[in-house]
Amino acid sequence: MKKKVFMLILWAVLTITSAIGIWLCGKYDYGLMEAIAGALIAIFIERGATAFQDIADTSDWKASQRKLKRGGFISDNTIIRISFAYLFRIKVGDEYFLVQNSRNTGKYQPVGGVYQLKGNEKALLKNLYHIMDDNKIPIDKSSRDDYRLRMKNKYLRKFMKRFDNKKAERERIENVGRELREELIDTGIFSWEEISYRYCGRHITELRFEEHFQIYELLLADIVELIPTSEQELDLMKLMGHESEKYRFAKEKQIACLGMDIESGNLYEWIGDHTKKILQEQESTLIRMPGVGDKYTIELRRS
């Protein structure tokens, strides 16, 4: 930020200096110098406007969006894919509890899932921002109304503001038990009736080109940490050493390497790359959204 402010001040000083130069050249009839100063002031004003935009872009994803547009890589009409989710950090001792990806990737990942829209929100988003369904992952009954969407780049910033607006009808951090219920309770791994968890913060990627899907995308993940009761912690400990296809445990080093064991030469990646976001070591890098540190308790019974 200091560098951005310095550049804004620099271009402002150069603009003022050039303006003074134009005035002096006009006063003393230095036509050529006046023309040069005029050209310079136009450049300095443009650079100053760019520096001001850089200061206004207070998050990394906004800065990346601006750079891509300046470089001609994207335009207002470029289609952007978004996927907004929540992920559970479930940790026992020095190991993290992971479940198998339901999309048949064979990889293991944190419990969690994509936020879902509620009520009339999807229709409203279509009217406001002309959102489109995601065409990269097959849509089924469970994903029909979730936050895997596409839209033109020019709507992305307003869409982000709407996502955090309290008026938006959607799943919220105060009640994110749906995926945990589906992945742990309905599958018979646990029979918990209630859980407590803490909101840790938010991870947002830069706007970037996704090689597999061949589209620019923005990924958001809110991280929550399970606060297990003594009984729930005992349930988790009982599973350690008795892993199945449904779940596995992994240490921080394994997650950082995505499951690869370089020392043994086993380079198979069995952990999803987004799993790194839940590591305790990464919590200090998360965006501190309103409500960070708050604790929630929710029932897992189906209504």
Structure confidence by residue, pLDDT tens digits, 260-299: 877 666 677 899 999 999 999 999 999 999 999 999 999 9
Q: Which residues pair with 81 in a beta bridge?
A: 150, 217
Confidence of residue 108 (pLDDT cuts 50, 70, 90): very high
pLDDT at 21: 55
One-character DSSP codes across 25-75: HHHTT-HHHHHHHHHHHHHHHHHHHHHHHHHH--SHHHHHHHHHHHTTS--
The type of residue at 199 is: Y
User: Between 262 and 80, whose confidence is greater?
Assistant: 80
Tell me the mean pLDDT in the region 55-71: 83
Residue keyed to tokens 């742990």? 184
Mean pLDDT of the chain: 84
Evaluate whether 148 touches 132 at the Cβ level (below 8 Å). no
At 17-40, the pLDDT tens digits run 655 555 455 554 445 554 555 555
Evaluate whether 55 touches 212 at the Cβ level (below 8 Å). no
pLDDT greater than 70 at residue 56: no
pLDDT greater than 70 at residue 252: yes
Domain assignments of the chain as residue spans, ordered by start: 2-56, 79-299
At 161-211, the pLDDT tens digits run 999 999 999 999 999 999 999 999 999 999 999 999 999 999 999 999 999
Distance CA 109, CA 2 (A): 38
Q: Where are the beta strands (DSSP E) in the chain?
A: 79-89, 91-92, 95-100, 108-109, 112-114, 132-133, 148-152, 194-204, 208-210, 215-226, 247-251, 295-299
